[in-house]
Chain A
Amino acid sequence: MQTSFSPDQLADPHVAFSESILRRCVHCGFCTATCPTYVTLGNELDSPRGRIYLIKDMLENGRPADAEVVKHIDRCLSCLACTTTCPSGVDYMHLVDHARAHIEETYRRPFIDRMIRALLMVVLPYPARFRAALTLARLGRPFAPLLKKVEALRPLGAMLDLAPKSVPPASRPVAAAVAAPRRGRVAILTGCAQPVLDPGINAATVRLLGRLGVEIVTPQGEGCCGALVHHMGREEAALEFARQNVDAWMREIDGKGLDAILITASGCGTTVKDYGHMLRLDPAYAEKAARVSALAKDVTEYLAALDLPQQPSQGLTVAYHSACSMQHGQKITIQPKLLLKAAGFVVKDPAEGHLCCGSAGTYNILQPEISAKLKTRKVKNLEATKPDLIATGNIGCMTQIGSGTGIPVVHTVELLDWAYGGSKPAKLG
């Protein structure tokens, strides 16, 4: 579609990149149909095409963000279903990233919103702080209904609701014995929230890969991938997390070498795979970040290449929930299901599998109403497949869906570990 930017505006590489994205959009409207917020709210302003238009108008006019634009961009889950649907190849992810950064630079949010976001940013990416916060949240739980009565404080209520009733003890994945013959050497992202909420996921990965002859390393200095602050528009903070991880992994790459960097939370995977783009304008990091992104793989993507043998039937039906960051962000669709089938599970696809469950990073905290509607819709579709359990590859979805159903929700890799000689996931009793 037509754009109107001045040469001066286009001298800014961020604007120039967004302009190239906008030029691809033909305004066909296909993206509206698969957008969770459009199908929930029925307003084009809450659809990808509407947001693209709002962003275009804001950037073309070099205008600071305003409350109207912010409202509709904030409602975007960044699920990226639109990028799967878009026939024209519009890179919505980087466009909305730019818009979010622009909002942070030019818009002053209301006080409570600022405080809540600041709280999330100083707590969630840091495991020790997050663990402490979860303990406090348990004490605060009785106040959740009260908080939800005040609109501006609803995110706090949602936060308390989401906090698990118990937090597993702190642990780092113990290096497992590596069987011969050696098939590879990989790093695994420890991350931030996942090891606090569910350390069993990476532990299962380490055990499974160890049995398969893959050595796993967790280099010192890596941590949160930066997605959390990135999606809040804090570009510099996100790049700092990215640089830190790139440094940690580069030491291994330049040392004993790495065959892959494995990520067990697809939300983080999408971001690590984007480091090359995020750091493209940083001469000191551009090349290193591109190398890291090229090595980044979801754990199921890596396992799919290992040709695991068919296992006998487990007698269990699994509803597979493809996280948005998995299917839309990383375009990984069939590998996890093929792995589960090979592991002996009956795998069911829920209806409306393309729609987000409403988790979306901190979305279920910041946009609790829309998130709750999407959760209900998702749980209904999952339960309709009459599964024994639900499997997915992203901790956010596990927490979100788990808070809406009595059916156990496990990580795909926990089931694979079990099927290939490991212990039964604790959640399955």
Chain B
Amino acid sequence: MSASIQFLKPRQDILSRRATIIADLLELLPPDCLVHEPRELVPFETDAFVSYRRLPLAVALPETTAQVSAVLKYCHRYGVPVVPRGAGTSLCGGAIPQEDALVIGLSKMAKILEVDLVNRCAVVQAGVTNLAISDAVGPDGFFYAPDPSSQLACTIGGNIGMNSGGAHCLKYGVTTNNLLGVKLVLVDGTVIELGGKHLDAAGYDLLGLVCGSEGQLGIVIEATVRLIAKPEGARPVLFGFETSEEAGACVADVIGAGIIPVAIEFMDKPAIEICEAFAKAGYPLDVGALLIVEVEGSEAEMDAMLAAIVEIARRHGVKRVKECQSATEAALIWKGRKSAFGATGRIADYICMDGTVPLSQLSYVLKRTDEIVKGFGLRVANVFHAGDGNMHPLILFNANDPDEAAKAEAAGNEILKLCVDAGGCLTGEHGVGIEKRDLMRHQYSTADLDQQMAVRAAFDPQWLLNPSKVFPLDGRPAI
């Protein structure tokens, strides 16, 4: 197991009271809703950032708001740390527990409570998966726009925690731009509502504060999300280039020309090969880099936008332009793209970076990323949201080789610093979690971080909620 990222030292007073805590929690929850047998805790020790693992004290799987509130109230009263968990698909370790923490998983709270097409919104419980919302409203011609690649499995609660993005966020914005309201359980068990069915609420924009707060300001149990009308048509088109640099420069010019397609996704050669082997989507294998550009609207609108993009791509020496011919083919193109990370598992273990850079720096950062990873003697595959400059280098390594694992982590840190130095940021959509926590000082000044921590402390003075995450362990206020 990688060891360079430290967790908070488990509190002995909590560990020694484990039996009492479990007995107390069993008073608050039905027996099916508390996991506490040691064997059964093991599968909860990590999320999709699987290099780090910590067993939790126990796992609560509440079914009602009252249960979430009662459990939080108890933990608050007795100082028990809490780690919220949705589907456990975090790529930055956002849901990894710690030995003295109770995991509160929202997987049993997975109902769509209301679909309000007239007001273009849906009210859902936090454990509803991202895709389930679009599935539920799809037959009526609507969808929920942010589409993380893990949208099949990841939950709306987790999306709010990490302010998740996705391929189609280039046009529609990320979670925070599509969230209208939440029901939040505060650390002391108080249930509050923020926002509602309207675009803006009176008073402070606390909703904006909660979205992306990684479960440290409270536990989101319900969300009101915007629904968007489906476009008349949508068409992904594949653009193949000789080099990653050409493809990167093309993206910058497309966006710079004021053209905003729904999505511009990038794959380099290793990523193309991995995704094609899994999805058989017809990605060209004879190119060095591929852009998936999706346009939408009426036929005439799509044609006009495509013509403008093709014109720019030609200037960058595009080698292949392939329009997709059917809905089935379009679905395969997206299936391949969205399965890219998992499909990488067929050839190697990986860690996935999430740095975001200004588009003008895209080609440079791609080139340097390659040099950095090669410098560690490892391989990299790039598959990411190019239109947003949100890069996802997948650093490939062998998890059973501790030396390689350490190198992969070191390479990742260098890449993320590179992104910040290029004028970008550490994370575009995955969140900080534990993975990028110790790099936060590279991004922010002490004053910046102190202010963020002050806000955190205003909601959770004891630092009980997801305490090992986001903020470097040194420099925290004394509690």
- Are the C-beta atoms of B35 and A45 separated by less than 8 Å? yes
Find chain A residues with CB under 8 A from B88 CB.
29, 32, 44, 49
- Given contacts A27-B48, A33-B152, A88-B346, whether A1 and B87 have CB atoms under 8 Å apart is no
B positions within 8 Å CB-CB of A: 1, 32, 35, 37, 39-40, 42-44, 46-48, 50-51, 61, 87-89, 105, 107-110, 127, 129, 131, 150, 152-154, 278, 339-346, 349-350, 399-400, 405
- Are the C-beta atoms of A42 and B47 separated by less than 8 Å? no
- Given contacts A27-B46, A29-B47, whether A2 and B1 have CB atoms under 8 Å apart is yes
Contact of A53 with B by CB under 8 A: yes
Give 6 CB contacts A-B under 8 Å.
Answer: A2-B349, A34-B152, A53-B43, A57-B39, A85-B152, A89-B345
Contact of A43 with B by CB under 8 A: yes
- Are the C-beta atoms of A29 and B346 separated by less than 8 Å? no
A31 to B345, CA, bound (A): 14
A239 to B149, CA, bound (A): 41
Find chain A residues with CB under 8 A from B340 CB.
87
Contact of A108 with B by CB under 8 A: no
- Are the C-beta atoms of A25 and B39 separated by less than 8 Å? no
Contact among B44, B47, B61, B400 for A2, CB-based, below 8 A? B400
- Chain A: which residue is nearest B342 at the CB level? A87
- Given contacts A32-B87, A42-B107, whether A26 and B152 have CB atoms under 8 Å apart is no
- Are the C-beta atoms of B105 and A44 separated by less than 8 Å? yes
Known: A23-B400, A30-B152. 5 other contacts (CB 8 A): A25-B345, A26-B341, A30-B342, A33-B129, A33-B131
- Chain B: which residue is nearest A38 at the CB level? B107
A24 to B88, CA, bound (A): 18
- Chain A: which residue is nearest B345 at the CB level? A88
Distance between A226 CB and nearest chain B CB, rounded to angstroms? 30
Contact of A66 with B by CB under 8 A: yes
Contact among B42, B50, B108, B346 for A42, CB-based, below 8 A? B108
Find chain A residues with CB under 8 A from B152 CB.
30, 33-34, 85
- Are the C-beta atoms of A43 and B61 separated by less than 8 Å? yes
Distance between A409 CB and nearest chain B CB, rounded to angstroms? 26
Contact of A68 with B by CB under 8 A: yes
Distance between B4 CB and nearest chain A CB, rounded to angstroms? 15
- Given contacts A28-B89, A50-B43, A68-B39, whether A44 and B153 have CB atoms under 8 Å apart is no
Contact among A28, A33, A43 for B35, CB-based, below 8 A? A43
Distance between A86 CB and nearest chain B CB, rounded to angstroms? 7
- Are the C-beta atoms of A2 and B342 separated by less than 8 Å? no
Most chain A beta carbons < 10 A, residue from B32, B61, B88, B399: B88
- Are the C-beta atoms of B150 and A53 separated by less than 8 Å? no
Find chain B residues with CB under 8 A from A32 CB.
87-88, 153
- Given contacts A29-B150, A32-B87, A57-B42, whether A2 and B35 have CB atoms under 8 Å apart is no
- Given contacts A26-B344, A27-B48, A30-B342, whether A49 and B349 have CB atoms under 8 Å apart is no
Chain A 35-72 near chain B by CB (<8 Å), digits 1 or 0: 00011011111000110011001000000001011001
- Are the C-beta atoms of B346 and A24 separated by less than 8 Å? yes
- Are the C-beta atoms of B343 and A87 separated by less than 8 Å? yes
Contact of A333 with B by CB under 8 A: no
Contact among A3, A25, A44 for B107, CB-based, below 8 A? A44
Distance between A384 CB and nearest chain B CB, rounded to angstroms? 11
- Are the C-beta atoms of A53 and B42 separated by less than 8 Å? yes
A4 to B405, CA, bound (A): 15
A22 to B46, CA, bound (A): 15
Contact among B44, B46, B278, B405 for A87, CB-based, below 8 A? B278
Contact among A28, A38, A66, A90 for B48, CB-based, below 8 A? A28
- Given contacts A25-B345, A29-B89, whether A43 and B153 have CB atoms under 8 Å apart is no
Most chain A beta carbons < 10 A, residue from B40, B61, B110, B339: B40
Distance between B251 CB and nearest chain A CB, rounded to angstroms? 25
3 residue pairs, one from A and one from B, having the closest CB atoms: A87-B342, A88-B345, A87-B339
Distance between B159 CB and nearest chain A CB, rounded to angstroms? 14
- Are the C-beta atoms of A28 and B342 separated by less than 8 Å? yes
A69 to B39, CA, bound (A): 8
- Are the C-beta atoms of A44 and B51 separated by less than 8 Å? no
- Are the C-beta atoms of A29 and B400 separated by less than 8 Å? no
A28 to B351, CA, bound (A): 11
A17 to B46, CA, bound (A): 24
- Are the C-beta atoms of B42 and A68 separated by less than 8 Å? no
- Given contacts A28-B89, A33-B152, A45-B35, whether A54 and B50 have CB atoms under 8 Å apart is no
A33 to B129, CA, bound (A): 8
- Given contacts A29-B48, A32-B153, A54-B39, whether A88 and B342 have CB atoms under 8 Å apart is yes
Contact among B1, B154, B342, B405 for A26, CB-based, below 8 A? B342
- Chain A: which residue is nearest B44 at the CB level? A44
- Chain B: which residue is nearest A42 at the CB level? B108
Chain A 358-377 near chain B by CB (<8 Å), digits 1 or 0: 00000000000000000000
A30 to B339, CA, bound (A): 9
- Are the C-beta atoms of B346 and A89 separated by less than 8 Å? yes
A38 to B153, CA, bound (A): 11
Find chain A residues with CB under 8 A from B87 CB.
29, 32-33
- Chain A: which residue is nearest B127 at the CB level? A42
- Are the C-beta atoms of A28 and B39 separated by less than 8 Å? no
- Chain A: which residue is nearest B109 at the CB level? A42
- Given contacts A33-B129, A44-B105, whether A87 and B345 have CB atoms under 8 Å apart is yes
Contact among A1, A41, A53, A85 for B399, CB-based, below 8 A? A1
Find chain A residues with CB under 8 A from B40 CB.
45, 54, 68, 72
A23 to B399, CA, bound (A): 9
Please report which residues of chain A, range 1-21, place their CB below 8 angstroms from some CB of chain B when the two chains form the complex: 1-4
- Chain A: which residue is nearest B49 at the CB level? A27
- Are the C-beta atoms of B350 and A26 separated by less than 8 Å? yes
A29 to B87, CA, bound (A): 7
- Given contacts A2-B50, A26-B341, A86-B342, whether A49 and B43 have CB atoms under 8 Å apart is yes
A105 to B110, CA, bound (A): 38
Distance between A39 CB and nearest chain B CB, rounded to angstroms? 8
- Are the C-beta atoms of A2 and B153 separated by less than 8 Å? no
Find chain A residues with CB under 8 A from B349 CB.
1-2, 26
- Are the C-beta atoms of A42 and B61 separated by less than 8 Å? yes
Find chain A residues with CB under 8 A from B129 CB.
33
Chain A 81-104 near chain B by CB (<8 Å), digits 1 or 0: 000011111100000000000000
A399 to B35, CA, bound (A): 35
A34 to B150, CA, bound (A): 13
- Chain A: which residue is nearest B340 at the CB level? A87
Most chain B beta carbons < 10 A, residue from A33, A68, A69, A88: A33
Find chain B residues with CB under 8 A from A41 CB.
32, 108
Distance between B130 CB and nearest chain A CB, rounded to angstroms? 10
A66 to B61, CA, bound (A): 22
- Are the C-beta atoms of B345 and A28 separated by less than 8 Å? yes
Find chain B residues with CB under 8 A from A69 CB.
39
- Chain B: which residue is nearest A352 at the CB level? B135
Contact among B105, B153, B342 for A33, CB-based, below 8 A? B153
Please report which residues of chain A, range 232-269, place their CB below 8 angstroms from some CB of chain B when the two chains form the complex: none
Contact among B42, B109, B342, B344 for A54, CB-based, below 8 A? B42
A28 to B342, CA, bound (A): 6
Find chain A residues with CB under 8 A from B150 CB.
28-30
- Are the C-beta atoms of B50 and A27 separated by less than 8 Å? yes
A23 to B32, CA, bound (A): 31
A53 to B46, CA, bound (A): 10
Find chain B residues with CB under 8 A from A89 CB.
278, 343, 345-346
Find chain A residues with CB under 8 A from B346 CB.
24, 88-89
Find chain A residues with CB under 8 A from B278 CB.
87, 89
A3 to B405, CA, bound (A): 13
A337 to B275, CA, bound (A): 28
- Are the C-beta atoms of B339 and A1 separated by less than 8 Å? no
